[in-house]
Structure formats: structure tokens, C-alpha cells
Amino acid sequence: MDRPVTTLFMLMSVDGKISTGATDDLDVDRDFPKIAGVQEGLHQYYEIEQTTDLWSLNSGRVQKKMGVNAKEMPEKSPVSFVVIDNHHLTEHGIRYFCALSKEFVLVTANADHPAFQVNEDNLHIICQSKLSLPDALATLKSEYGCQRLTIQSGGTLNGLFLREKLFDYVDLVIAPVLIGGKDTSTLIDGKSLLSERELSQLGVLELQECVVLEHSYLRLRYRVVRG
């Protein structure tokens, strides 16, 4: 395989929502700790997260929601981060990831991105005229040695990975809550399927593990099987 082995790892509600509402002021990481019946078991997701791959892919929009453009500089972690972003991260956000990451790779189609003003040894920029996920993943493996990659991005970017058939595994932690709302981001957003043929090309999920966690949480792990 000329790209890393990928795993979509996400926390979601029972109805598949990965946010608590349709605005960027609402966010699972901020809001779930405040909800009785959900807060008690939330630590299990973060504990599982610590066991995921040493390369992690995120989107700039999600990271902006999480406040990286204003956070204090973090301690160095052993994880290398990849962020796909055109305009959400500021120079401070870029420096935040440089401080946090073993290696930090920004994928962008913005030739004027603030990252170009940052000079850090562990900062690498993949600049594309138009986003190509297959090309970006191939570069991550060939130039930066990324063998396995955990994807924790938003629903729209997850949708692009799905349509490009770039998921190998899906690892979900399901919180005991229903959120609803047709405009609230789900695990997979983006363009809807329009034909049975499109559906048949996406592959199916083969269950590898179902773990009943404490406080009514579940963990579901699947392998993506394609014909």
C-alpha cells in the first residue's frame, strides 16, 4: 500500500452526532463534561485515545473550535500531527502544533497560509493547488515515514475520506446521549449518495470488537471490507 493504514477514531452520540449543535460555539469536548449521565464515562474515550496511532490527522476547523489559536504553548508529545487547513489556523495555532508535535505536517491549498511565516525544524508543509487526499497520504508515507494514521477530523472531511475509499478501520466510542438536528455534524457529512452503485462501492464494515464500557458507553471497532 502506497499510503498509511488509516483508522477513523471518533466519539459520537447514539444518533451519530460528533458535535452538540450546529454552531462552532457548541462542541463535544466542551459540552459533554457538563452533561449528567455522559460526563461520568467520558474519561474512557480519552484513555482509549491515548492508545491510538502515533500519527494523528485533524482539520483546521475542528482545531480552531478547540481553541488552539489562543491556547498556551503545550508540552511536547510523542505524537506527530497532520492538519488539513486553508484558513482556520493562525500563526499562533501553527506554533502551538509545532510545540506539541514530534513532527507537524500542514496540508493546505492556501499559498498565503500563516504557516509559511513560521520557521520550525519540525514543521512541514504539503501545498496543493487543490486538496488531494490520496496524494497527501502518499506523501506522508513516502517522505515522512507515516505507516499508520488515526483520523479525527470533522464530518465533511470524513466524508471525503469515505468517498475516496481511504478508511481501513473505524473505531467508535458511543456516548449515551441523543442530540438530533439535521444541521448538526455527523460522523460522515458531505455530499449525499445518489445511486445504488455509489453505495455498493463504499465497502462494508466487518465488526472486530464490541466492548461494553462503564456508564453505558460502547466501543465498536470495524475493518472496512471492499469487494
* Amino acid symbol at 112: D
pLDDT, tens digit, 9 for 90 and up, residues 124-166: 999 999 999 999 999 999 999 999 999 999 999 999 999 999 9
| d(C-alpha 24, C-alpha 183), whole Å | 12
Structural element, H or E, at residue 82:
strand 80-84
Q: What 3-state DSSP class applies to 9? A: strand
pLDDT, tens digit, 9 for 90 and up, residues 206-222: 999 999 999 999 999 99
Which one, of 1, 28, 3, lies nearest residue 132 by Cα?
Answer: 3
Going along the chain from its start, the domains and CATH numbers come out as 5-225 (3.40.430.10)
Query: Whole-model pTM?
Result: 0.96
| d(C-alpha 69, C-alpha 80), whole Å | 18
Q: How many CB atoms lie within 10 A of CB 142?
A: 11
Predicted confidence at residue 89, as pLDDT, reads 98
Rounded to a whole number of angstroms, the CA Rg of the chain reads: 17
User: 23 CB contacts (<8 Å, ≥6 apart)?
Assistant: none
DSSP 91: H
